[in-house]
Amino acid sequence: MKMLVNGKEMRSLWYEDGCLKLIDQRKLPAKLEIFVAKSVEDVAFAIKEM
């Protein structure tokens, strides 16, 4: 899925450098922060909390 951030399209999640990177939905709309999931446990946390 893509999101519009500061007028530019940005993917809400992507795989890069061996990690899953996601826009931290808990911080929106006040702040754009990237959550880096390095393990299965991190991914499970992201699914549960975001």
Torsion of CA 48, 40, 25, 3, to 10 degrees: -130
Residues of the chain with pLDDT under 70: none
Contact 20, 30 (CB under 8 A): no
Q: Which pLDDT score, from 0 to 100, does residue 21 have?
A: 98
The residue extents of the domains of the chain are 2-49
DSSP for residue 22: E
Q: Which pLDDT score, from 0 to 100, does residue 8 have?
A: 86
Neighbours of 9 (CB within 10 A): 8
Euclidean distance between CA atoms 44 and 36, whole angstroms = 12
